[in-house]
Amino acid sequence: MVGNTVSHYRILEKLGEGGMGVVYKAEDTKLKRTVALKFLPSHLTKNDTDKARFLHEAQVAAVLNHNNVCTIHEIHDEGENPFIVMEYVEGKTLRDIIASIGAKHSGDDIGKSDRIRPGNASPLKILDVIDYSIQIAEALKAAHKKSIVHRDIKSENIMVTETGQVKVMDFGLAKLAGPSQLTKTGTTLGTVSYMSPEQARGEEVDHRTDIWSLGVILYEMLTGQLPFKGEYEQAVIYSILNENPEQITSSRSDIHKSLNKVVKKALEKDPGKRYPNAGSLIKDLKSSGKISSKLPSEEESIPSIAVLPFRDMSPQKDQDYFCEGMAEELINALTHIKGMKVAARTSAFQFKAVDLDVRRIGEELGVKTILEGSVRKAGNRLRITAQLVKAEDGYHLWSEKYDRDLEDIFAIQDEISLKIVENLKVTLLEKDKAKLLRRYTEDQEAYDLYLKGRYFWNRRYEGGLQKAIEYFNQTIKKDTSHAPAYSGIADSLSILGLFWLRPRDVFPRAKSAAQKAIEIDETLAEGHASLGWILFMYDWDWTAAERKFKRAIELDPRYALNHMWYAVFLSQMGRVEEAMVHSKRALGLEPVSLIINACSALVLWTNRQYGEAIKQGVKAVEMDPNFLLSYWYLSLGYNSKGMWKECISALEKTVVLSGDSPFFLGAIGHAYAKSGQKKKAQEILCRLKELSKTKYNSPINEALIFLGLDEKDQMFEYLEKAYNERSFMIPSLKVAPAYDSVRQDPRYLELLKKIGLDK
């Protein structure tokens, strides 16, 4: 549909898809405005009841003219593809907002069915919850006044704009009073987790069923969880009919009893005990808002810290790796302390060598304390200074100077960590203390080598990855039980096997290293994540890969890279909504990580959100104009939008930054071919043939170019070779937009079947 014109609407991009509609962003070519078009899915157009319900949605919503209801402009019901033209709302769903905030804290219980998901996200701020709830209730008040019952109020159907305005969407199941109803008593419609008891029983419902659903959303916003949970729909229904949810006050300490009463009254199982109308609910919400505005938020009471990279004060200025590693080790240790908020590595490290006041840094990172320090190394002697500073006023809470031998580095780290905990008044249980003081080696030289490996791994370029492997191997020679070093080798080899080296030469070695890391320490989240990535990208064992990603989340829900790897996996399996949850969670945990920002653009592209993919890609490029992968992922969005000038410009940067990597040459050859520059595409094919003499050239590169040239026989020939060489691009075939033109070819379907992606 994208690029087509329907009536006088030019379709720009796909926005989403549900059981009763496919939504596209479009340009109204007559009135020169952006709109959203909602089409009835093709498999429902032959069903008169479904078609009538679809048209009914437009008629019901058109009755309403309210700031908090998505406006319906018109409906086209002629022909085989009826569609609704409605207001284009730029923002996020309330579900996505809850998930993105939850990303800062936890990754548990993700990936289950959205309709019955337990949920375990972080809650929204109290005043935001009340504001959103009042706006939703105002929309319901207007609908109920017109005798309209929505019947499918849920966080997914609530859009919030950047300015905080709420828009209620999807009136597909709405019921108008009177004899023209489309459904009868006894029919259960709606989303199970948000259904009122009477709706779950299939009984006649009135406006109070919407109030119940809003109560569920209130609970969800306040706790990050749904009040009624179960592993399958009947279990959820049983919970709705027979069980009481856990008190919201047990989830957080900043909820006033007045708000607790609002939630309880909205969730009364007996409709007669519920709020009689939206107006009375709004009145109590406003009253609770006045009280809540005077209370400190839970977030304000949580101890929080950012550990900045230590400054290198050594005469030779050669201790950069040690300064970064010292800070990273402290961050990793403090992250395991329950009840403490710790700024992520990439968030804190953006202030490296930046002369900013600590108050500004505290505001930027949302923390109340800053740890900063310096390192001076001369021979085997160390001088380390550390100071804990209040971000609010710049006053020191604690400071210390250590003049020790290099072998005392572990004791110094332990002392700094314990002093931080002591000064932030964090209660430290014995198990927390064990995590805080845990280290993977007692060998100071092995520790130093591991820090050097991490330093180069974080740079993500070919030479840096090779150096990282060298240092990790040296670490293991010094201490064969260093599990993180094995995981580091696995990760470095995996990335080299994606873009620079033959997969068969590196992935088996990477797998052995990841398995060794887990063998040494089964609780190492990084080891499970590394193995999950290899099982996904090389073994094509989808079930085992997902099991490892989930295990890593159980062990360390704050490990952002695992969330992003899992998001890439889910997106390539076609599980769009789950992929977006993990992608946003990764971004919430590491908002300034280059690789996570870049990969987020990849997930958006795979999910066919091309406009958002471009925005994310541009953001990633702006963060660091020399980060290779940002340009590649940005080019994908441009490619799918047919923006060839921008696409080729981005790919030219990848070719330069990668040192003429055949992979990125294949990508630009594809773009040349698609944009009509066939001669240049042929030149790239010749160039790849020549480069094959000195560099690894995956057959996927030629396959992409022949795809662009529409030479299908040769494309399939090279695609088969890429399959045999286990190219990392093969797992993307199920969903990659680039292959849409051959998706129904029997040879393509056979290839999907061979790799187990035909379902």
The arrangement of strands across the sheet holding 158-161 comes to 91-93, 158-161, 166-168
Q: Please check whether residues 415 and 391 belong to one and the same domain.
A: yes
Judge contact between 265 and 293, C-beta under 8 A: no
| pLDDT for residue 289 | 83
Give per-residue pLDDT as tens, 229-240. 887 888 899 999
| pLDDT for residue 585 | 87
Domain boundary among 87, 109, 140: 87
107: how many CB neighbours lie within 10 A of its CB?
29
Residue 408: pLDDT band with limits 50, 70, 90: confident
Region of poorest pLDDT, from 335-339, 486-490, 612-616: 335-339
Q: Please check whether residues 413 and 519 belong to one and the same domain.
A: no
Give per-residue pLDDT as tens, 598-640. 999 999 999 899 999 999 999 999 988 988 889 999 999 999 9
Residue 13: which CATH number? 3.30.200.20
Residue 518 inside a domain? The answer is yes
Question: What percent of the chain is predicted at pLDDT more than 90?
Answer: 44
Q: Please check whether residues 343 and 292 belong to one and the same domain.
A: no
Q: What is the mean pLDDT of residues 716-739?
A: 93
Cβ-proximal residues to 54 (8 Å cutoff; 6+ apart), any chain: 20, 21, 40, 44, 82, 84, 172
Residue 229 inside a domain? The answer is yes
Q: Please check whether residues 362 and 275 belong to one and the same domain.
A: no
Judge contact between 423 and 398, C-beta under 8 A: yes
Among candidates 129, 149, 125, 127, which has minimal Cα distance to 139? 149
CA distance 116 to 210: 19
Q: Please check whether residues 182 and 291 belong to one and the same domain.
A: yes
| pLDDT for residue 364 | 79
User: In a 3-state reduction of DSSP, which class is residue 104?
Assistant: coil
User: In a 3-state reduction of DSSP, which class is residue 183?
Assistant: coil
522: how many CB neighbours lie within 10 A of its CB?
12
Q: Please check whether residues 416 and 502 belong to one and the same domain.
A: no
CA distance 607 to 36: 18
Residue 568 inside a domain? The answer is no
Q: Please check whether residues 169 and 190 belong to one and the same domain.
A: yes
User: In a 3-state reduction of DSSP, which class is residue 682?
Assistant: helix
Give per-residue pLDDT as tens, 451-480. 888 888 877 778 889 999 999 999 999 999
Catalytic-residue membership of 270: no
CA distance 24 to 36: 6
Q: Please check whether residues 352 and 479 belong to one and the same domain.
A: no
Among candidates 107, 433, 69, 124, which has minimal Cα distance to 248? 124
| pLDDT for residue 673 | 96
The CA-to-CA distance between both ends of the chain, in Å, stands at: 23
Residue 356 inside a domain? The answer is yes
| Residue appearing with tokens 């008190």 | 247
Residue 402: which CATH number? 3.40.50.10610
CA distance 364 to 348: 10
Residue 221: which CATH number? 1.10.510.10
| pLDDT for residue 720 | 96
Residue 579 inside a domain? The answer is no
Residue 686 inside a domain? The answer is no
Cβ-proximal residues to 418 (8 Å cutoff; 6+ apart), any chain: 436, 437
- Residue 52 amino acid letter: A
The residue annotated as part of the active site, out of 96, 152, 210, 320, is 152
CA distance 621 to 617: 6
Residue 529: which CATH number? 1.25.40.10
Among candidates 399, 434, 397, which has minimal Cα distance to 414? 434
Q: Please check whether residues 277 and 134 belong to one and the same domain.
A: yes
**How do beta strands 304-307 and 369-378 pair?**
parallel
User: 37: which strand partners?
Assistant: 24, 85
**Which ranges of 224-375 does DSSP label H, i.e. alpha helix?**
233-242, 257-266, 278-292, 298-301, 320-335, 345-349, 358-365
500's torsion region: left (phi>0), alpha (psi -120 to 50) or beta?
alpha
Please indicate, yes or no, whether the overall pTM of this predicted structure exceeds 0.75. no
| pLDDT for residue 108 | 36
Residue 324 inside a domain? The answer is yes
Give per-residue pLDDT as tens, 117-163. 333 344 688 889 999 999 999 999 999 998 888 888 999 889 998 77
- Residue 151 amino acid letter: R
Q: Please check whether residues 31 and 80 belong to one and the same domain.
A: yes
Residue 174: pLDDT band with limits 50, 70, 90: low
Q: Give me the domain span that covers residue 206.
A: 123-296
Residue 344 inside a domain? The answer is yes
CA distance 319 to 316: 8
Averaging pLDDT over each range in 34-43, 168-177, 590-599, which range is the top one?
A: 590-599
| Residue appearing with tokens 């109803």 | 181
CA distance 64 to 80: 27
| pLDDT for residue 427 | 54
Q: Rounded to 5 degrees, what are φ and ψ at 27?
A: -105, 125
Q: Please check whether residues 173 and 225 belong to one and the same domain.
A: yes
Mean pLDDT for the chain overall:
84
Domain boundary among 557, 577, 599: 557
Q: Which contacts qualify for 127-130: CB closer than 8 Å, 24 or more apart? A: 127/289, 127/292, 127/293, 128/164, 128/221, 129/218, 129/221, 129/222, 130/259, 130/285, 130/286, 130/288, 130/289, 130/292
Domain boundary among 425, 456, 489: 425
How long, in residues, is the chain? 759
Comparing 708 with 120, which gets the higher pLDDT? 708
Q: How many structural domains compose the chain?
A: 4
Give per-residue pLDDT as tens, 200-240. 998 888 999 999 999 999 999 998 889 998 878 888 999 99
Give per-residue pLDDT as tens, 540-596. 999 999 999 999 999 888 888 999 999 999 999 988 888 988 998 898 888 878 889
Q: Please check whether residues 403 and 474 belong to one and the same domain.
A: no
| Residue appearing with tokens 């653009």 | 601
